[in-house]
Structure 1
Amino acid sequence: MDQDQPPDHEAGEAVRAAAQAAGLAMQPHETRLLLKAGGGKPPATGEALRRALIELRRPSWRNRLVALAKRVEALPARPDDLDVAVAGIAEPEPREADLLAALRDAVLSRLGGYSTPKVALVAALENLPRGASGEPPLEAAGHCARLVAEAFGMAEPDAAAFARRATEAERLRREERRGAARAARETRAEEERRLRIWETSLVAADAVPGLLGCTREEAERWTRAGLVPVARRVEARRGGRSFREAEFDPAALEALRDEVPAWRKAEAGSRPAPAEAEAGTRRVSNAAVARIAGLDRYAAHFATARALNRRIIACLGPTNSGKTYYGLSRLAEAESGIALGPLRLLAHEYREALQARGVPTSLLTGEERFRVPGSRHTAATVEMCPFQNPVDLAVIDEVQMLADPERGPAWTAAIMGVPARQVILLGAPDAAPMLRRIAALCGDPLEEVHLERMGPLRAAPEAVPLSGIGRGDAVIAFSRREVFTLRAELQRRERNVAVVYGALGPTVRRAEARRFREGEAEVLVATDAIGMGLNIGPLRRVVFSALTKYDGKQDRPLTVQEIKQIGGRAGRFGGEHAEGVVAVLAGGGDPKEIARALKAAPEPPTDLRPPVAPDAEIIAAVAAEIGTESLFGTLRRIERAVLRRDDPNYRLGDLSTQLAIAAEVDGVRELTLMDRWSYALCPVDERDDGIARLADWAVEHALGTTVAPPRAGRLPPPDRAGQDTLQLAERVHRRLVAWRWMALRYPDTYRDVEGALEESHRLNEWIEAVLAASPSGRMRAVAGGAGAAGNQRKRREEGVRAAPARGSGGRPTSRTRPR
């Protein structure tokens, strides 16, 4: 029966008569909806009508509860509590008091499911509504503690004492947090003031001869040679011409006056030996912040690597050209070695591949360390590259990530600093020019091996309708929301669908890939997270939902490299689908654009200078040089002055996340500068208040208390889970990643590692069960509407951020950094 058509008159009359007999008040639209749900037939009995009416009204009760819950300041209700509450209502016309009572019971039931009252209280406070100050009223902590005490069945004296302790602890935490925030603001203001004073004190090139006691020609010559450090370069105009003018730190120049005689002597006689020149340069640079950071001589920062006679092999080729097989085969033959990749998931896959070849291999990622006794091989994420222990061979994967503004410095550091006698670099051909630049800066010989794709890849001549998606296809979307919209549309067409997107943990991603690979799921719907290494098996076809993506600021066309990297996952040499096909959904763009991209030559980065970033040693040295304990001030000086914007060899990577964290934790004075730097490197999700949560952890760390791992609490059965609860589980899982990252560095503060692992495993299993289950009505109604054009419009209108190619599921703007 069509919803827009009036119900059969007799059937409608029968429903109204039954309702009147049962004493049920009904609205006209409810009659129509009941008949539609029953296929045009009225319920057989009054009791059946009553049950049907209750089910029909549950969504409206939930909406009412959302509004009612906001009036109760100290009720820490989550979206799944609302679902539980309305599911328990058995009367067709509940009062507001009945709805609130049901919600309170649902909250009590959930809180009672946590392991201890303390853990339950942490979860309750996390779920309290926030006021204008960003925090709930202090007395709400006491009310929450009372709820927790009730949930755990505490007697009145114990409940009152628990509430008093909770309120006092929350008061102390807030005082410390406010004090830390105030100190951080004062520190930022002072460091900005110091930076402005320093910048004001800088002098132009014509002041250098007077400060050094030399001629103008000597000053220019020594500046070009790098003996006289340039503090910064600023935009200037003269005679209608724009140029960058050098400015110098007078204090640094005064400290160099004693070096002038040695420089003149070196120029007058024979030039010093290279070792003497380097030593002289090092002494000179120690007087200036620029040397302390050493970012303009970054390769020299890795002493162990420079002491080795390294040889670099760049094995470059498109997707499905055998690069990984080449690298891991060579690594398995080496006496010792390390494999480095962009994702924890890939580190696990490298380890499994080596173990399968009979090579014992340890694992090293940001949140886990698994040592295999006697192993001489390690699989690791690129940020965890060890720089001190020499090995025979290193394999570094996905080297085109050098172009990434935030994570690129990790690849620069790994390529320049990995202490291996032979370094094999794997990646797309686009990376070749920058790899040549890095090899030259390191003084290492470079051999290039170019591989061709094993198996043809072609562009589909026509766009593909959604009804044409079938077994072996992967549909690529560019936001989590769009993934679930497409999933729901395909499931309506009776397709079994697996999904992969960046917010999923590695375990769940691999489980979903396995479902698709083994044929349990016919279709894969994924973000561009699949473009990097995940073993998804043979794909018949890669179908883009659209040829544009939202990059955090605007919709932009996909790059040639993105189309090649993701589309290249189609086809598998020697497999079921030898030929790969790349297509676009109907309404998502012009198929000819795909054909042009697949035929296009590699596109080198517009800036071939490798990005670099400071490490702990550089941070400590720069802070000592400028006389500050402020991490924010140190990073600001590095950002503004240490590496010139026009440096011919390097460019400074994106430090915005570290600066944002530093601005929050700098006021926690009990933590050392190096402690705060560790916090600044922690992978957090800014969209989930990750920086504020990290700052709270820092305060607890400073107070000497332990930081409990995040927990999700009670979760509904997977087949009844809605989007709200699924996203909650994903958020808690990401928080656990950050918690476990900190636990590796501060085990005395982040103690409950076993509890964190148990919660991670529980969430992984639950999320996978949800994704494998048939969608409920709530899951199907996630985004409404279908079609690539509509989804693109929704992303523009709602500001949904697309997942980046590295698979973070929300990055570059989410600032979630895999380790």
Structure 2
Amino acid sequence: MDALSPAQVATDRALAETGLDAAPREMQRLTRQVARRLTPGGEARIEPDAFREVLCVVRRKGWATQLMNVTRRAGEVWIDKPDMEAAAARTIDPTADEYALRAILDGVVFERLRTLGQNAQDAFDTVQADLVDSGHVLSPRQLDLLARAVGTAFGVDDDTLARSALARQEADTAARAEIETRAAERRAAENARISAWEQSLVSFDAVPRILHCSPREALRWIAENRLPVTRRIPRPDGTEDFQFDPVELKRLRTQLPLWRGVMPDAKPGRRGGADLLSLVPETGSAGNAAVARVAALDRYAAHFRTARALNRRITLVTGPTNSGKSYTALNALAEAESGLALAPLRLLAHEFREALAARGVAASLATGEERITVPGSRHLAATVEMCPLHNPVDVAIIDEAQMLADPDRGAAWTAAIMGAPARHLFVLGAADCVPLVRRIAELCGDPVDEISLERKSPLRAASATIRLHELRPGDALIAFSRREVLDLRAELLTRGRRIAVVYGALSPEVRRAEAQRFNSGDADILVATDAIGMGLNLSIKRVIFTSLRKFDGTQTRDLTTQEIKQIGGRAGRYGLHEDGIVGVLANAGSPNFIRAMLHAPPEPITELRPLVQPDADIVRAVADEIGSESLYGVLARIKRAVLRPDDPNYRLADMEQAVAIAANLEGVDGLDLSQRWTYAMCPVDERDNGIVRLTHWASDHAAGRRVQPPGTGHLVAPSQASRQELERAEKRHKRLVAWRWMAQRFPETYAAIDDAEANTATLNDWIEAVLRQHSRGREHREDSRAPRSGPRKSGGRDRSSRRRG
């Protein structure tokens, strides 16, 4: 029989002396804890008090789990995991039962509740707001429990808080139900209106009878685009059925003599057949052709009258990352008397402004949620969506023109390049954008000079795959989801590495702080998503992909040559590294694939029609044409009418989110069409209940109530933050971005801008403090499932840089 170790001897002796029991599953951990308390070479004995403390340490995890089960059965969803762990850590009696544990937990919760407000009402509102943001709608019983807990924490014994909370919830529920019912009814009415109009359409067989022409003439006029085809219905054999609006056809009757080449008073042509127009009302929904005519998206370049009135010249500067595309353009901009610099991200707009300041030029700033006005300045740095269209300038820069092909934001680049009111326009981008920019210049009638630049420092593929233990300071690991980034961070922290992270959900301020930590050497390794592909000056030696496939929102596919070059091009910053190296993690792909992509020519663009979308003026014009103030109805008609799928010049951009917001706003009375359109353009996250939250804000706005900014919620100590708490803070920051965006448009309703700025700064500081933690922390112990020899396949798309900058 094996001899017992000193720790086992001490454990058995302590159990006998204290009269305590330990379950078999606890013995191994208990013995390890006891061993840490023993003096090497000393007596195999631990003092009873110290042993009780050790036994409490062993039982903390079980106690926390027990408390979790108790609170969840009771529906107390406002009590979170850190509360359970804190209560377990405070327990000093190893025999504590459920009631004793619950008493300690209540003390922890009451302490936290008292930190959430100056009084019980403030604390209650903060907790409830956090729960709503997390998707929890409390039942009346849960509201009562929460109100009583908050009341006890603040020494309020009556049930006033509970009754007030229940009354408010009932009123809010009734108001929301009324809005939803009204919205459903109005959407149904708009859809019925459109459906009735579509039922009035006729097939080609009716066209000759309506126009009093021959079928051959009708076919010729259709081919000549004289007769508008209202709907094209695909057949299984690949052909199409054409449908026509009889009202529109009747309006064209006066054109027939001109089309036939005869004088207006000439003898009319054939008039055989019944006149179907007698069955068609003259009023009602305007035809698609009429809607298309007033929207004029097929003549989109003409919308930008200021730009068309200028004698514009475009200089297209293309080249890979690290080729110095912006240097010459920024110099020209700084030397001009007036100018404009347009960037894809708020972070890059700030960098443009700083670059101008370094050249001695003060510039104002305009982004979706931020304005900095410099009195007397004639230069502006802005995000692309904020391009001013009516004030001519001498020079303008538009960066990252390859975004023209982006399905989410490409229309903003189309509008900026077509509409920037600059006499000399510099368009910067990867080589992929050349045919698209040429096409836009052709549509605008602007001459184009082209400059092609080469990379300043060589870029090459690594000769072999790279393992995690082979990472060196200055390396950047590229993953394609937030989860993968945090998993890799957790794994590398366990290996003693110092890590900085960059991913789309982080604010520009936090991204810049993380980049600074990496550049300064405070962090060895950067772990990032493809969010580093644009902006951020990073001192990266090697870019290492953790996968050569990504989920793009629709499908999982191989990385394109442009993605490899754009992201990999961040390696080897000129002036700091002689060259840049692009590699791939072991078991995640082949270096040969990267080598081939780096040397491949730009992938051919098969779709050269630029993406376009309506603006406020177009929305108003269509509303007037169809006689409707329903934004949902207007957008529905625009989707059906303004651009034919075979339009030779333009494509209609995706408008799904705008339509979804408009559909929800149908039930809100008191907002005019332009205000609804502004709400529809607000950058919200649908996955975070953003459209519903925006509808509530709109309801308060319409009722004349001020909309308060989202709060920070309860922020634990950064060293104790879990991954879930980090994500919750990131979502709160996104809500503040949306609120600040609205505040720029409706400052009287969204008035507490100082509070919003303070909350934003608090969240930024907290998130950065969490990311600066160099120990594993709680988040890495929970369920990180970190990769060992290589990460899993990408499971999500980093979408934070999507709409409207």
Whether TM-score is above 0.5 comes out as yes
Instruction: Name the CA distance, whole Å, in 2 between partners of 1:24 and 1:685.
Output: 54
Specify the alignment match of 2:596 in structure 1: 596
Specify the alignment match of 1:539 in structure 2: 540
- Give the AA of the match of 1:562: E
Specify the alignment match of 1:280 in structure 2: none
Deviation track 1:736-757 (CA, whole Å, cap 9, x = no partner) reads: 1111111111222222111111
Specify the alignment match of 1:173 in structure 2: 172
- Give the AA of the match of 2:312: R
State whether residues 610 and 651 of structure 1, in contact with CA within 8 Å, keep that contact through their aligned partners in structure 2: yes
Q: Cα gap change, 1:262/1:143 in structure 2, threshold over 3 Å: closer, same or farther?
A: farther
Q: Share of identical aligned residues, percent? A: 50
Q: Cα gap change, 1:756/1:97 in structure 2, threshold over 3 Å: closer, same or farther?
A: farther
Q: Is the counterpart of residue 803 in structure 1 residue 802 in structure 2?
A: no
> What SS is found at the alignment partner of 1:363?
strand
Deviation track 1:72-94 (CA, whole Å, cap 9, x = no partner) reads: 33653344444444443333344
Aligned residue runs from structure 1 range 112-151, under 5 A: 112-115=114-117, 117=119, 119-128=122-131, 135-138=137-140, 140-141=142-143, 143-151=145-153
Instruction: Name the CA distance, whole Å, in 2 between partners of 1:411 and 1:147.
Output: 53
- Give the AA of the match of 2:125: V
Instruction: Name the CA distance, whole Å, in 2 between partners of 1:801 and 1:683.
Output: 20
> What SS is found at the alignment partner of 2:292?
helix
Greater Rg, structure 1 or structure 2?
2
Aligned residue runs from structure 1 range 606-645, under 5 A: 606-645=606-645
Q: Cα gap change, 1:37/1:17 in structure 2, threshold over 3 Å: closer, same or farther?
A: closer
Q: Is the counterpart of residue 574 in structure 1 residue 575 in structure 2?
A: yes
Instruction: Name the CA distance, whole Å, in 2 between partners of 1:504 and 1:491.
Output: 20
Specify the alignment match of 2:306 in structure 1: 304
Instruction: Name the CA distance, whole Å, in 2 between partners of 1:70 and 1:207.
Output: 68
Specify the alignment match of 1:203 in structure 2: 202
Query: How many angstroms does 1:789 deviate by?
Result: 7.4
Query: How many angstroms does 1:197 deviate by?
Result: 2.6
Query: How many angstroms does 1:430 deviate by?
Result: 0.7
State whether residues 490 and 776 of structure 2, in contact with CA within 8 Å, keep that contact through their aligned partners in structure 1: no
State whether residues 233 and 645 of structure 1, in contact with CA within 8 Å, keep that contact through their aligned partners in structure 2: no
**More displaced stretch, 668-677 vs 355-364:** 668-677
Specify the alignment match of 1:25 in structure 2: 21
State whether residues 138 and 171 of structure 1, in contact with CA within 8 Å, keep that contact through their aligned partners in structure 2: no
Aligned residue runs from structure 1 range 83-232, under 5 A: 83-115=85-117, 117=119, 119-128=122-131, 135-138=137-140, 140-141=142-143, 143-154=145-156, 156=157, 160-214=159-213, 219=218, 223=222, 226-232=225-231
Q: Cα gap change, 1:149/1:366 in structure 2, threshold over 3 Å: closer, same or farther?
A: farther
Specify the alignment match of 1:234 in structure 2: 233
Instruction: Name the CA distance, whole Å, in 2 between partners of 1:30 and 1:622.
Output: 73
- Give the AA of the match of 1:497: I
Query: How many angstroms does 1:503 deviate by?
Result: 0.9
Instruction: Name the CA distance, whole Å, in 1 between partners of 2:262 and 2:323.
Output: 54
> What SS is found at the alignment partner of 2:557?
strand
Specify the alignment match of 2:803 in structure 1: 817
Deviation track 1:68-125 (CA, whole Å, cap 9, x = no partner) reads: 2223336533444444444433333443334444444444333332345555333322
**More displaced stretch, 499-508 vs 633-642:** 633-642
**More displaced stretch, 773-782 vs 314-323:** 773-782
- Give the AA of the match of 2:345: L
Query: How many angstroms does 1:146 deviate by?
Result: 4.4
Identify the match of residue 239 of structure 2 among 243, 252, 263.
Answer: 243
Specify the alignment match of 2:276 in structure 1: none
Instruction: Name the CA distance, whole Å, in 2 between partners of 1:791 and 1:783.
Output: 15
Instruction: Name the CA distance, whole Å, in 2 between partners of 1:789 and 1:192.
Output: 55
Aligned residue runs from structure 1 range 588-737, under 5 A: 588-737=588-737
Instruction: Name the CA distance, whole Å, in 2 between partners of 1:103 and 1:678.
Output: 46
- Give the AA of the match of 2:544: V
Query: How many angstroms does 1:560 deviate by?
Result: 1.2
State whether residues 232 and 241 of structure 2, in contact with CA within 8 Å, keep that contact through their aligned partners in structure 1: yes
| TM value normalised by structure 1 | 0.89
Q: Is the counterpart of residue 548 in structure 1 residue 544 in structure 2?
A: no
State whether residues 288 and 640 of structure 2, in contact with CA within 8 Å, keep that contact through their aligned partners in structure 1: no
- Give the AA of the match of 1:379: A
- Give the AA of the match of 2:561: V
> What SS is found at the alignment partner of 1:339?
strand
State whether residues 712 and 728 of structure 1, in contact with CA within 8 Å, keep that contact through their aligned partners in structure 2: no
State whether residues 546 and 788 of structure 1, in contact with CA within 8 Å, keep that contact through their aligned partners in structure 2: no
Query: How many angstroms does 1:222 deviate by?
Result: 5.2
**More displaced stretch, 723-732 vs 671-680:** 671-680
Instruction: Name the CA distance, whole Å, in 1 between partners of 2:229 and 2:260.
Output: 20
Instruction: Name the CA distance, whole Å, in 1 between partners of 2:715 and 2:80.
Output: 11
- Give the AA of the match of 1:632: Y
> What SS is found at the alignment partner of 1:791?
coil
Aligned residue runs from structure 1 range 361-380, under 5 A: 361-380=363-382
Aligned residue runs from structure 1 range 285-296, under 5 A: 288-296=290-298
Specify the alignment match of 1:274 in structure 2: none
> What SS is found at the alignment partner of 2:322?
coil
Instruction: Name the CA distance, whole Å, in 2 between partners of 1:195 and 1:222.
Output: 27
- Give the AA of the match of 2:327: Y
- Give the AA of the match of 1:123: T
Q: Cα gap change, 1:97/1:288 in structure 2, threshold over 3 Å: closer, same or farther?
A: farther
Query: How many angstroms does 1:249 deviate by?
Result: 2.0
Instruction: Name the CA distance, whole Å, in 2 between partners of 1:256 and 1:147.
Output: 73
- Give the AA of the match of 2:170: R
Deviation track 1:189-213 (CA, whole Å, cap 9, x = no partner) reads: 2333333333332223443444345
State whether residues 233 and 644 of structure 1, in contact with CA within 8 Å, keep that contact through their aligned partners in structure 2: no
Q: Cα gap change, 1:101/1:681 in structure 2, threshold over 3 Å: closer, same or farther?
A: farther
- Give the AA of the match of 2:59: R
> What SS is found at the alignment partner of 1:394?
strand
Specify the alignment match of 1:560 in structure 2: 561
> What SS is found at the alignment partner of 2:646?
coil
**More displaced stretch, 481-490 vs 30-39:** 30-39
Instruction: Name the CA distance, whole Å, in 1 between partners of 2:263 and 2:484.
Output: 66
Specify the alignment match of 2:768 in structure 1: 768
State whether residues 610 and 650 of structure 1, in contact with CA within 8 Å, keep that contact through their aligned partners in structure 2: yes
State whether residues 719 and 777 of structure 2, in contact with CA within 8 Å, keep that contact through their aligned partners in structure 1: no
Query: How many angstroms does 1:495 deviate by?
Result: 1.5
Deviation track 1:328-361 (CA, whole Å, cap 9, x = no partner) reads: 2221111111111111111111111111111111
State whether residues 431 and 602 of structure 2, in contact with CA within 8 Å, keep that contact through their aligned partners in structure 1: yes
- Give the AA of the match of 1:63: T
Instruction: Name the CA distance, whole Å, in 1 between partners of 2:673 and 2:118.
Output: 34
> What SS is found at the alignment partner of 1:288?
helix
State whether residues 616 and 674 of structure 1, in contact with CA within 8 Å, keep that contact through their aligned partners in structure 2: yes
Query: How many angstroms does 1:260 deviate by?
Result: 5.0
Q: Cα gap change, 1:113/1:225 in structure 2, threshold over 3 Å: closer, same or farther?
A: farther
Instruction: Name the CA distance, whole Å, in 2 between partners of 1:122 and 1:230.
Output: 56
Q: Is the counterpart of residue 46 in structure 1 residue 52 in structure 2?
A: no
State whether residues 484 and 782 of structure 1, in contact with CA within 8 Å, keep that contact through their aligned partners in structure 2: no
Instruction: Name the CA distance, whole Å, in 2 between partners of 1:616 and 1:31.
Output: 71
Specify the alignment match of 1:791 in structure 2: 791
Instruction: Name the CA distance, whole Å, in 2 between partners of 1:328 and 1:300.
Output: 28
> What SS is found at the alignment partner of 2:491?
helix
Q: Provide the aligned length of Structure 1 versus Structure 2.
A: 777
Specify the alignment match of 1:738 in structure 2: 738
Query: How many angstroms does 1:403 deviate by?
Result: 1.2
Instruction: Name the CA distance, whole Å, in 2 between partners of 1:90 and 1:626.
Output: 74
Deviation track 1:3-47 (CA, whole Å, cap 9, x = no partner) reads: xxx996553343233134334332223221244456677684333
Instruction: Name the CA distance, whole Å, in 1 between partners of 2:23 and 2:615.
Output: 67
| TM value normalised by structure 2 | 0.90
Q: Cα gap change, 1:101/1:440 in structure 2, threshold over 3 Å: closer, same or farther?
A: farther
Specify the alignment match of 2:404 in structure 1: 402
State whether residues 288 and 641 of structure 2, in contact with CA within 8 Å, keep that contact through their aligned partners in structure 1: no
- Give the AA of the match of 1:443: G
**More displaced stretch, 721-730 vs 29-38:** 29-38
Please report the RMSD computed on the Cα atoms of aligned residues, expressed in angstroms: 2.9
> What SS is found at the alignment partner of 1:62?
helix
> What SS is found at the alignment partner of 2:326?
helix
Query: How many angstroms does 1:466 deviate by?
Result: 0.4
